[in-house]
């Protein structure tokens, strides 16, 4: 049985840990509020951009032949996917619960499903690119995984310009046929205690209309009848790359907010667990002290009777 001195040392140690986890929880909560505001502000813009792209594609396809090529190279699907890149978003730091492990587990499942022994379409080469040091460190130890690009320090200074850089590099490699498809794996922010692992195809850009069917000239229009200037193809030339950058930016914001939410939740649980441990150790210390006092009293009484 531990001595009273040892128990008191453990209580002091747990109290120090509790102070640290409580402080980390408060910091994460402050960062979460800012990150959540950024996510909720960006979502409407991304949705409207998607609607605008859908509207332009509808109009271009109405005016073009059925066998016309895709309106933009980034929208062109490949018949066969030989080289694929999986971009995973993890955190730079730990102590955020299952935030990173859920992403890594989903990445491993993607690699297995699309391998020769998997149940889905087989890709000859799958490269894993990482945003966040936790993902980089994990896959650096995997010799069976082809390493892509690691984007360093993205979450240290989260800016739209970084999303544009990443999207521009992926678009260039896709157009030059270095890649046939790009997938993005990240945590979508639902609430402070809930994050959802999301896998989405980044390139070729999925048809925003969902079904990919050609519209008819007399089909009902769900949007306002815009007049475009300059011409629609010129607008599309700028809009498609911007859509790609916006999707990368949205994923970065979602992942950032999810990380802070997961860390706040993890530190809150750790703080409460530390409190329960302190109560348990305090009770043990009291019992140990009472047992020591009882033993001393018994020894005194026994000594007095012996006299």
Which of 57-64's residues contact partners 24+ apart within 8 Å by CB, and which partners?
Answer: 57/207, 57/208, 57/209, 57/236, 58/209, 58/215, 59/232, 60/232, 60/233, 60/236, 61/214, 61/215, 62/214, 62/215, 62/216, 62/217
- CA-based nearest residue to 41, from 246, 186, 297, 259: 246
Backbone angles phi, psi at 180, to 5 degrees: -105, -20
Count CB atoms within 10 A of the CB of residue 233: 12
d(CA 65, CA 23): 63
Give catalytic status of residue 96 as yes or no. Answer: yes
- Kindly name the residue from 84, 96, 181, 267 that is annotated as catalytic: 96
d(CA 79, CA 62): 24
β-strand partners of 83 = 125
Q: What share of the chain is helix, strand, coil (3-state, %, to 5)?
A: 60, 15, 30
- CA-based nearest residue to 87, from 17, 183, 162: 183
Residues with catalytic roles: 96
């Amino acid at each position: 049985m531990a001595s009273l001195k040892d128990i008191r040392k453990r209580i002091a140690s747990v109290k120090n840990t509790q102070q640290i986890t409580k402080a980390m929880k408060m910091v994460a909560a402050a960062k979460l509020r800012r990150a959540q505001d950024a996510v909720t502000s960006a979502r409407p813009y991304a949705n409207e951009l998607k609607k605008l792209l859908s509207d332009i594609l509808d109009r271009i396809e109405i005016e073009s032949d059925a066998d016309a090529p895709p309106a933009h190279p980034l929208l062109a699907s490949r018949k066969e996917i030989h080289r694929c890149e999986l971009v995973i978003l993890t955190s730079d730091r730990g102590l955020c619960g299952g935030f990173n492990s859920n992403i890594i587990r989903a990445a491993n499942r993607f690699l297995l499903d699309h391998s020769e022994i998997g149940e889905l379409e087989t890709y000859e080469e799958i490269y894993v690119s990482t945003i966040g040091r936790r993902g980089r460190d994990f896959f650096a130890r995997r010799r069976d995984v082809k390493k892509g690009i690691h984007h360093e320090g993205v979450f240290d200074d989260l800016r739209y310009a970084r999303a544009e850089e990443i999207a521009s590099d992926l678009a260039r490699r896709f157009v030059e046929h270095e890649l046939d498809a790009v997938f993005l794996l990240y945590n979508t922010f639902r609430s402070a205690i809930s994050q959802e692992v999301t896998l989405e195809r980044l390139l070729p850009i999925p048809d925003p209309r969902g079904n990919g069917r050609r519209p008819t000239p007399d089909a009902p229009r769900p949007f306002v009848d815009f007049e475009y200037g300059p011409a629609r193809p010129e607008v599309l030339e700028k809009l498609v790359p911007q859509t790609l950058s916006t999707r990368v930016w949205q994923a970065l914001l979602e992942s950032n907010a999810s990380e802070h939410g997961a860390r706040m939740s993890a530190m809150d649980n750790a703080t409460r667990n530390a409190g329960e441990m302190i109560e348990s150790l305090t009770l043990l210390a009291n019992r140990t002290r009472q047992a020591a006092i009882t033993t001393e009293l018994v020894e005194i009484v026994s000594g007095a009777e012996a006299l």
